[in-house]
Structure formats: C-alpha cells, structure tokens
C-alpha cells in the first residue's frame, strides 16, 4: 500500500539536522537566561551582522543588528528613529503584507501607498518620485520615510530608490522581512537604507519561532533602537522614563533557536533557489502559467522565499464553477492563525475565479497554494489612504498565486505540484471565450 502523501506547505520551519538549536536553548535553560537579553541574543546579533556585512566580492560593511520580538516591531522602531510623528506621511509599497504599513498607523502617521513596477512586482521608482513631489505640493512637506519591500524575496531596485531618497533627503527603511539573503549588486538587502527589517517568523528563511531584527547603519541608531526596545529607561537607580518605550527585545530562548538556524541559512537559501529553478524548468511547457522570475539584470539575486506565478485569465480550472460559492471557514495559509468570521464569499477586489479554483484544487491534492498579497490600497482598513497606483498590483493580485518553496519541499514534491497544476487546467480554453 502506497504511503499517503503529506500536505506540502509553502514554507515550514526547518531545524538543523544536527539539532544545534536545541543546544543553545538548553544552555539558556541551564544557565537561567530565560529573559529578553543574554548570550544567545548577543551571539545571534553578531552572526546576523557578520552575514549582512559580507558582500559577495568579500568586501565588508559595518552595520549593527538589534534583535527584536517581531519584524513588525522592527518597522515600528525604525519609524520612531526616523522621527515619524502623528500626521506625518510615509511612502510605503502597496503590494505587501500589512506589517509593512500598520506600524505607520501605530504612530498616528499616514501611509502613502506606492504601486509596483511590473518586472520585480516591487515599488515603482518613477511612481515613488511622482508621489514625493505631489505630497510636497499638497502638504508643504516631504514624506518622513520610504519603505520598499522585497516581495517574496525579490530585490527592489535599490539603486533607483536610494537615488530618489537621497535626492529628497528622505530616510529609507528596507522591509527585507521576506528577503533575508537576497542581494542587489552583491550587497545584502537591508543594508542600503538607514534601516533594514528582518523577520524570523515560523515561515521565513530561518526562524526563531517568532522574532525579527533591525539592521542599523551605525552605533548611535542601534543604541537608540535598543533603548526604545527595552522600555526607554533613563540612567537612574530607579525607573524613570522621558520617552515612551516598548517591550520589543528578543527572548534569549528564541535567540538560541536563531543561533542554530544561522548554521543552515546558506543551505536554506540555496534550496529555495533550486526549487525556483526547478519550477521554471517544469512550467516552461505550461503556457497558461507564468512563473515569476527575477530580472535578467545580474545585480538581482533573489532568495525566492516563495515561488510566485500568474495564471492566464482565460484558463478554465476544474471546479471553477464553484469558486467563491462558500465562505472560507479556516485560515488560508496553513498555520496562518486566527481569522475573523465573514458573511460573504466575495469582496470588491479578489483573485479571479480560476485562481481561487486552483487554490481549492491544490488544497484537495494536499498542496498549499496561496493567493499573492492583496494590495494595501485595496484593503478596507486603508480605504481613506492616499495611493499612487498604476494598476500593476491589482492586476497581479487577480492572477497571482504562490507555490511551496521551503526546505521540506523535495524535487519529487515540485514534480508532483506541477503535475497537479497540469491536471487542474481544463484544456478546452474556448469554453470561456
């Protein structure tokens, strides 16, 4: 009897084969370092700094890394360090997860959403500059920060975005939460701007179960971030606070997992790239599906955290007639967590019916196939936000989907996934025309 196939998830946490993570965690318990500081935190920060500061040609940078409780916390503290105040505006990529933009609102500031360029799916530099000029004309002030995002690990155009930011003297906070190990012109993402955000959520390139980090360009910024992350306590023998601080420091236990994970980071990056190359090869003869590739420009070196693709709008998928007929009762995305009940199966901005049908078909085949991020400027919570859009992210949201790429995804899994996609496609394309 054939063994039942296990569900293939997008990207599951993957520990080192040697169990190095357990050694560091055990040390934390054995020495009673079970607090948000300690030797594992220090060691993890140093390992991350060593990685981030090493360019592909062997040259070195001198950035500092502060480990935090989440990537969202990193965005929040970076905004504070950039001086963002209530009513200030911050330019942020629209095609992203909500953690890129929500911290702006925590501060009472206003996100200004910037749409994507077609090739990378990331922030469009031309649209960014248009927005900066227009906001200055309309408000009398330039935006206080710019947040580009490495969507699914794809590098943004660091050269153009940094040139625009420098032209208008606006600090850049790179959201490289999905881009750990991605490079532009040999330099690690997160080291171009004033700050770089990393995430170690359970589904990222490496994990600390939960957690994040902020790459800082200098000691002053790193110390300021560290101070705010530990409740902003003044130097008195009692607790006195002149500013609002936060409990955002990473646990020494979680950092122990991170120390062990650094031993497999390079292998994880190589695996994701391998799976991407395999999808590109296996899908080249499936004309209805288009795998998202990095630009031919040799400066781009994506980690391919997730492998994304698009589906032609006129393709019919098995079960498509039932798409959006029922309200989803469980969280899309395996371990996505708690969701709020909804009472309608449709919204005014959603993936095409064939993309939803493909998701359901693949789920029935025990393959997690998730829609791409819904653009923030189309989210109900940001209905009143300013947005500069060109239609690219909305178009991609309708036709895009993500495929498994994590360390547990084998070559056999990739072949199986592509076979399932082929099976899902109804060959009589004229049926919808």
Query: Over the stretch 348-358, which tens digit does the pLDDT of each residue have?
Result: 999 999 999 99
pLDDT above 70 covers a percentage of the chain that reads 96
How far is residue 55's CA from residue 266's CA, in Å, rounded to a whole number? Answer: 14
Quickly state the pLDDT bin for 336 (edges 50, 70, 90): low
Q: Give yes or no for residue 197 having a pLDDT over 90.
A: yes
Weakest-pLDDT range from 20-34, 142-156, 192-206, 324-338: 324-338
DSSP string, 122-133: SB-HHHHHHHHH
How far is residue 206's CA from residue 199's CA, in Å, rounded to a whole number? Answer: 8
Q: What is the mean pLDDT of residues 156-167?
A: 98
How far is residue 132's CA from residue 134's CA, in Å, rounded to a whole number? Answer: 6
* Angle at 98 (CA atoms; ends 320, 188), nearest 5 degrees: 105
Of 202, 204, 208, 205, whose CA–CA distance to 268 is shortest?
Answer: 205
How far is residue 249's CA from residue 41's CA, in Å, rounded to a whole number? Answer: 9
Q: What is the pLDDT of residue 338?
A: 74
Q: What is the pLDDT of residue 331?
A: 57
DSSP string, 93-111: ESSS-GGGTHHHHHTT-EE
The two three-digit tokens of residue 188, written as one number: 């690690």
Quickly state the pLDDT bin for 222 (edges 50, 70, 90): very high
Q: What is the mean pLDDT of residues 191-206?
A: 97
Q: What is the mean pLDDT of residues 402-409?
A: 98
Residue 384: partners with Cβ closer than 8 Å, 6 or more residues away: none
Q: Give yes or no for residue 70 having a pLDDT over 70.
A: yes
Burial class (CB in 10 A: 0-12, 13-18, 19+), 238: exposed
Q: What is the mean pLDDT of residues 211-223?
A: 98
Domains of the chain (ranges plus CATH)?
20-264 (3.40.640.10), 266-432 (3.90.1150.10)
Average pLDDT, the chain: 95
Quickly state the pLDDT bin for 430 (edges 50, 70, 90): very low
How far is residue 179's CA from residue 176's CA, in Å, rounded to a whole number? Answer: 5
The answer to whether the beta carbons of residues 274 and 280 sit under 8 Å apart is no
The answer to whether the beta carbons of residues 324 and 346 sit under 8 Å apart is yes
Q: Give yes or no for residue 433 having a pLDDT over 70.
A: no
Looking at the DSSP bridge assignments, the partners of residue 37 are 35
The region, left, alpha or beta by phi > 0 then psi within -120 to 50, assigned to residue 397 is alpha
Q: What is the mean pLDDT of residues 122-127?
A: 98
How far is residue 217's CA from residue 200's CA, in Å, rounded to a whole number? Answer: 20
The dihedral through the CA atoms of 78, 83, 85, 88 has a sign that is negative
* DSSP-assigned letter for residue 382: G
How far is residue 362's CA from residue 370's CA, in Å, rounded to a whole number? Answer: 10
Chain centroid to Cα 235, Å, comes to 36
Q: Give yes or no for residue 429 having a pLDDT over 50.
A: no
């Amino acid at each position: 009897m054939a063994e039942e196939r296990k569900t293939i998830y997008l990207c599951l946490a993957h520990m080192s084969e040697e169990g190095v993570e357990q050694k560091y965690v055990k040390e934390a318990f054995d020495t009673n370092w079970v607090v948000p500081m300690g030797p594992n935190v220090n060691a993890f920060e140093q390992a991350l700094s060593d990685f981030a500061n090493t360019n592909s040609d062997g040259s070195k940078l001198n950035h500092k890394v502060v480990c935090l409780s989440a990537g969202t916390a990193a965005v929040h503290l970076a905004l504070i360090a950039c001086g963002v105040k209530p009513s200030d505006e911050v330019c942020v990529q629209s095609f992203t997860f909500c953690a890129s933009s929500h911290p702006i609102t925590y501060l009472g500031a206003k996100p200004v959403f910037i749409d994507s360029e077609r090739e990378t799916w990331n922030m469009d530099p031309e649209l960014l500059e248009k927005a900066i000029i227009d906001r200055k004309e309309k408000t009398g002030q330039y935006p206080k920060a710019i947040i580009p995002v490495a969507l699914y690990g794809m590098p943004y155009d660091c050269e153009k975005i940094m040139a625009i930011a420098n032209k208008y003297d606006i600090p850049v906070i790179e959201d490289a939460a999905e881009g750990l190990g991605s490079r532009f012109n040999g330099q690690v993402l997160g080291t171009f701007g004033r700050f770089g955000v990393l995430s170690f959520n359970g589904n990222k390139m490496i994990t600390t179960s939960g957690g994040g980090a902020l790459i800082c360009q200098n000691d002053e910024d790193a110390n300021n971030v560290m101070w705010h992350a530990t409740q902003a306590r003044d130097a008195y023998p009692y607790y006195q606070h002149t500013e609002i601080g936060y409990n955002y420091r990473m646990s020494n236990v979680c950092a122990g997992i991170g120390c062990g994970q650094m031993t497999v980071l390079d292998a994880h990056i190589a695996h994701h790239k391998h799976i991407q190359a395999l999808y590109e090869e296996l899908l080249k003869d499936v004309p209805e599906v288009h795998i998202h590739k990095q630009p031919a420009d040799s400066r781009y070196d994506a980690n391919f955290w997730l492998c994304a693709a698009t589906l032609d709008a006129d393709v019919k998928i098995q079960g498509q007639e039932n798409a959006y007929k029922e309200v989803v009762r469980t969280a899309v995305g395996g371990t996505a967590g708690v969701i709020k009940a909804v009472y309608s199966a449709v919204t005014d901005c959603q993936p095409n019916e064939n993309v939803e049908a493909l998701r359901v078909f693949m789920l029935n085949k025990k393959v997690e196939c998730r829609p791409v991020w819904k653009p923030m400027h189309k989210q109900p919570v940001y209905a009143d936000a300013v947005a500069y859009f060109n239609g690219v992210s909305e178009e991609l949201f309708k036709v895009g989907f993500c495929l498994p790429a994590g360390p547990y995804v084998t070559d056999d899994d990739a072949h199986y996934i592509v076979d399932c996609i082929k099976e899902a496609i109804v060959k009589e394309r004229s049926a919808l025309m």
